[in-house]
Chains A and B, each alone.
Chain A
Amino acid sequence: MQKRKFESLSFKIISSIILTSVVIIIGIFLSFETINKKAFYNVELQKAKLIVKTIEPLVAIDIYLGMQNKMESIVKELIKNKDILSVKILKNDKLIYEVKSKNKYKSLFIITYNILQPNSKKKIGTIVLDYSNHNYEQLIYKYTKLLVIMLVILFIISALLSIYIKNILRPLRRIARLLQDFSPEKKLKIKLMKEDNEISLILSALNEMQEKIFDFASKQKDINAYLEKEVDSKTVELRKQLFIDDLTQLPNRKKLFNAIASSENDRALLILNIDDFKEINDFYGQSVGDYILIEFAKELQHFLKDEKNIMLSRLSGDEFALFFQHKPSEKSFMRVINSLTKEIEKMVFEYEQNEIFIRVTIGATLDSNEMLEKADIALKLAKEHKKYFLLYDKKFDVKRQYKENMEWVQKIKSAIKEDRIVPYFQPIFDAITQKPVSYECLIRLIDTDGSVISPYKFLTIAQKSKLYPQLTQIMLEKSCQYFQDRDTTFSVNLSINDILDVDMVTYIQKCIKKHNVSNKIVFEILETEGIDNYVEVSSFILSMKKLGCKISIDDFGSGYSNFEHILKLDIDYIKIDGSLIKNLETDINAQIVVETIVDFAKKLNLITIAEFVHNQAVFEKVKLLDIERVQGFYLGEPNRDI
């Protein structure tokens, strides 16, 4: 930082006084020069003019009347005035009389004045008067002298004032020098002044301030020491928390990341996950779950106590990692895994006279790049394929699938945000009249380029990414709105998750009430899902039926359901699975199943619907089997409008 130039206060005050004095003197001088000097000059000039003006009428008469003796006496009288140096009388530019004074002054005014004929403006002569400048010069001399005296006095006053101000402000300089050595730890000896003025007040205030600062500094010092100690201990604690898992006291995920990032060797990683740990937690309670995790960690530490190359860490709830800082041979790697697996199989955790066994699934990689992701992929695939261990292989190529899924999630989110999720309506026809009697609302995603995307491409991903409820709500809202003023029934598909979601059920009820479509709407529920969650589905159907809605079992016949059991659900329609219908004209087994379903349904007064009717032959067969309603591309494709 640039050091600021010191500007003395006394210098400023003195400068101001001197400047003001100079301005005043210049002002007086200028006014003297411009006003007074001129005024003095004019006074003398006027005096001379006045004399001439006074004698002019007398001289005029004398000249006019030719009485020059009179004129001479006037002029002689005039010349007695010591300031008049000479008088000349000219008649018609001819000198007729001249008188000169004995006084000799070099500086003079020359006044030339016309002599006019009395009682007329006719010029008859001229008076030339030489008037001494002596008075004017004397006046100027006096005035200049006075000005110089004033200047000297002002200068002396300024000088005295400067000394006085410097003396007054001297204590301030002393204070400033003293304060340069100030520090909160060291008290300064500030002597008080004898005089009682502003500076003595400042000194007294400084003393008081010094006392307060000293007290505050000593307190602050204690506080700082205490805080530093606290901060140090907290830092240690936080550092520990940052890298150590609270529960198992093992290095945590962050510590593992750091270890991976800081290691440049060829390495290996193994992730093991406790199978069905959630069930242990649910069954025995979370404290037991925590106890098992702690004990499991101890067992692993014990198992690895001689393995200096392996760092054990806890990744998340029931996941642990073994980081091989130097890549082992595949053989020794497998040996460790096998012995670890055997060790874990032997582990028994006792809790309140219960013996709890655990199983683990292991994913591992010997590839040093992106090892965490690869070990995780191996673990997931191992779980999917119900294997206890899987070593990552390049051919898994799961990464691409992950990327694609993430892109689809983004696509769905954008479509929701930009209102590009829309219902398409596929007509359901009466098999006899071949007229549409209802419409199934099918979800479509309109891509940014306007192309229509089928739900098969994004619905599974939507379910995984928890976007599915939003899609259901959009479909329900838009479908209900579309059909609220149309005189036809329509059906909407619900997943079991929708039915199990209390908030969603409430939303469904509000939506159908809002659009007043309770007597038009049909909810299609998958047969398999309905059977698996019989109680919840039954409750949902009951509440919807109370509102006047109708229920259809979708894809009926696709599973191995107990007809009687499912038909207790108080449904209205059975939509026979497309896999049975699509080859109906040729598949004898399918014909038998469909005939049985239709027969059963008729006994219970249920309406049957055949979907996937894609050609004339299937349609004819459907009619022959006495199925009441038909749906399929042969009769009508899904469209944006009915």
Chain B
Amino acid sequence: MIRIFLFSILFVQVLFGYNYNSLLLKADATIFPKIMLMDKKIKNKLIDNKIIYTIVYDQCDYETAIHVKEYIENTFQKYMDRYPYKVDLAEFSHLSLATKASAFYVLKSSTENIKKAANIARQKGIISFSYDINNLKYDLLFSLVIENSTILYLNKEYLHTNNIDFVDSLLSMVRFIGKKSI
């Protein structure tokens, strides 16, 4: 019942913000934190021994962000794997290098905002996940598409960041994508 209620709210929200696919949001909320944990250098990204999974959103997508946060918190009971975690929300306008984050989950926004979030993520050396696959061309790292099967896309140009080192098996199952092919 709670889930139905949440989804109905989400549809309401769609009327006021960007359009979101609830199934994709749910898949992102489930898979992206796990992909973050496949980074061999995840320990370097802990903040106060915690993982801070920051959802970057546009003001109009606040509710969506909240719902995603709650979904994550329901999925991962206090721990992501063995690490305690916290899901933070950060508005594009407030986003800076000072923003505490082990990874960004970037919702839809303007090109500038997306670029800004991607730039900060690169500077901080953290993983950035994008709801929208099109935003990978602005240097976000991961995105997920649900077609006949679930496909995980990885921006190959952004892969060679010193502070990120994924387990090899992950790389064998992702689909690499470049700016030109998006």
Contact = CB atoms under 8 A, between A and B. Distances in A.
Interface of A: 57-58, 60-62, 64-67, 69-70, 117-120, 122
B164 interface: no
A57 B150 contact: no
B60 to A, nearest CB: 30
Contacts of B38: 61, 118-119
B173 A118 contact: no
Interface in B154-182: 167-170, 172-173
Contacts of A61: 38, 167, 169-170, 173
Interface stretch (B27-35, B90-98, B105-113, B130-138): B27-35
Given A64-B34, A65-B31, A70-B149, A120 B169 contact: no
Nearest to A71: B173
Interface residues of B, number: 20
B167 A65 contact: no
Contacts of B40: 119
B61 interface: no
A66 B167 CA distance: 17
Contacts of A57: 167-169, 172
B95 to A, nearest CB: 27
B37 to A, nearest CB: 6
Given A57-B172, A61-B167, A70-B149, 6 more contacts: A61-B38, A61-B170, A61-B173, A118-B170, A119-B167, A120-B82
Given A70-B149, A117-B81, A119-B40, A65 B35 contact: yes
B58 interface: no
B39 interface: yes
B173 A58 contact: yes
B30 A58 contact: no
A65 B81 CA distance: 13
B117 interface: no
Given A58-B173, A61-B169, A69 B150 contact: yes
Contact of A62 (B39, B168, B173): B173
B42 interface: yes
Given A119-B40, A119-B42, A120-B81, A66 B170 contact: no
Contacts of B37: 118-120
Contacts, number: 48
Nearest to A59: B169
B169 A118 contact: yes
Contacts of B152: 65, 67
A425 B33 CA distance: 141
B169 A67 contact: no
B31 A119 contact: no
A57 B168 CA distance: 8
Given A57-B167, A65-B31, A120-B81, A70 B39 contact: no
B169 A60 contact: yes
Given A117-B81, A119-B37, A58 B150 contact: no
Contacts of B168: 57
9 closest residue pairs by CB, A with B: A57-B169, A69-B149, A118-B167, A118-B38, A119-B38, A119-B167, A65-B31, A67-B150, A61-B169
* B39, B42, B173: residue with the most chain A Cβ atoms closer than 10 Å: B173
A96 B35 CA distance: 22
A67 B170 CA distance: 12
B169 A65 contact: no
27 contacts: A57-B167, A57-B168, A57-B169, A58-B169, A58-B172, A58-B173, A61-B38, A61-B167, A61-B173, A62-B173, A64-B34, A65-B30, A65-B34, A65-B152, A66-B30, A67-B31, A67-B149, A67-B173, A69-B150, A70-B149, A70-B173, A117-B81, A118-B37, A119-B38, A119-B39, A120-B37, A120-B82
A118 B174 CA distance: 14
Contacts of A120: 37, 81-82
Contacts of B149: 67, 69-70
Interface string B31-56: 10011011110100000000000000
Nearest to B150: A67
